[in-house]
Structure 1
Amino acid sequence: MCGKPFEVLPTHQRIKNGGGQYCSPDCRYAAASLSGTVMVPCRACGEEFRAQRSRVERGRKLYCSEACKFSEQVRVERACEHCGDVMILIHTRDVEDRRFCSRRCYDLSRPNDPEILAHMARIRNMQRQKKQPTRCEKILYDLMDEAAPGTWEREFPLFYWTVDVAVPRRKLVVQADGDYWHGLTAAKAGKSPSPSVALTIAKDRAQDKYLAMAGWRPLRLWESELKQDPQWCLRRIKAMLLAEDGDD
């Protein structure tokens, strides 16, 4: 293996069996690792390198390094459909499906995508047929008919959630939150919420933060507020709508 001369007894049993070919275990292991390999030229740089014969026969070992492999890949430039930034994509079978440069651009483009709008409409219809609104949701729907007639939608799929009420033109989301499951009951009692309620509270906060980053304005109304003082809830909804009109 290394070419270094070494001594071995001529009567050694290994010589009789074809052994005694290597001066050390290191050379023996190196020779074992090279068995079944061939020298092939790199498709990119032309430099020869050693590769497993089986992989070469299957056409898999074509490059001497990852740098040579990447240098041979075809790259395609494409503009993001939302922000217009140029993306450099590796040409694969899925390159035609890549329309956005990031998940944020994908999320922000969803409300204006005709295919997604049609899919969301089908989801809304299925949800309306299956789910019966709760008492506080019915109160909220009546308030929305008075505050924004003909411009709001119930059970509106938005990003990763289905919100109770949305006014798409105003980018306003109105949620009817149950006192117990969203943490008001525990807060009034001065107690820590149960793990399931604490998880719901964390999800509510994350949802509100995400919607605000996407340009939507979330408004949450408690179940007790809707039942005990619906007129106060109506004034809050109208204030949110008037605030958007003032911004325009």
Structure 2
Amino acid sequence: MADTISAERRSQNMSRIRSRDTKPELLLRSALHKAGFRFRLHAAKLPGRPDIVLPKYHAAVFVHGCFWHRHPGCRNATTPSTRREFWQDKFDANVERDARNSAALEAAGWNVLTVWECELKADPEQVVQRLSVALRGDD
């Protein structure tokens, strides 16, 4: 299927996609704060600049969009039908970079947690509960 909008308009749309303060990230930050967690944002000195850093727990949290980071088995991780090779290369590079950053953080002694966009949309409180168990050992 051909793109239904002009290349100029597509470029304009893509330029508006943010890497910080996304809706899923804001939702998670709000829920974590309500649960009593205190954190830092986008630690520039850590590999991959994690979205949320919880220094007390030596934990780094990445909030990944299902489309861009290829959430396995998720219906939102679709591949555009045009320019398939371009998109596949882009997605492969994102996944590779994510793995490299997680490995570097783990090698430095950090607990790395990934939260997917679709999880947050479905039930943010359940995500916070999962993170709480992973960080504190709460039940």
TM-score (norm. length: structure 2)? 0.70
Q: 1:163 corresponds to which letter in structure 2?
A: P
Q: 1:171 corresponds to which letter in structure 2?
A: H
Matched, 1:240 2:134: yes
Aligned residue pairs: how many? 112
The change in CA–CA distance for 1:214 and 1:224 in structure 2 (over 3 A counts) is same
Higher strand share: 1
Q: Is the 8 A contact 2:40 2:53 kept in 1?
A: yes
Q: Note the residue ranges of structure 2 that are not aligned, 5 or more in a row.
A: 1-18, 80-86
Q: Is the 8 A contact 1:147 1:237 kept in 2?
A: no
Q: Is the 8 A contact 1:177 1:223 kept in 2?
A: yes
Q: Percent identity?
A: 23
Q: 1:174 corresponds to which letter in structure 2?
A: V
Cα distance between partner residues in 2 of 1:132 and 1:241: 23
Q: 1:144 corresponds to which letter in structure 2?
A: L
Compute the displacement of 1:147 (Å): 3.0
Equivalent in the alignment of 1:198: 92
TM-score (norm. length: structure 1)? 0.41
The change in CA–CA distance for 1:154 and 1:139 in structure 2 (over 3 A counts) is same
The correspondence of residues 1-248 of structure 1 with structure 2, limited to 5 A, is 133-149=21-37, 151-184=38-71, 187-188=73-74, 194-243=88-137
Higher relative contact order (CA 8 A, sep 6+): 2
Cα distance between partner residues in 1 of 2:98 and 2:124: 22
The change in CA–CA distance for 1:241 and 1:132 in structure 2 (over 3 A counts) is closer
Q: 1:208 corresponds to which letter in structure 2?
A: S
Q: Deviations over 1:73-130 (max 9, x none)?
A: xxxxxxxxxxxxxxxxxxxxxxxxxxxxxxxxxxxxxxxxxxxxxxxxxxxxxxxxxx
Q: Secondary structure at the match of 1:241?
A: helix
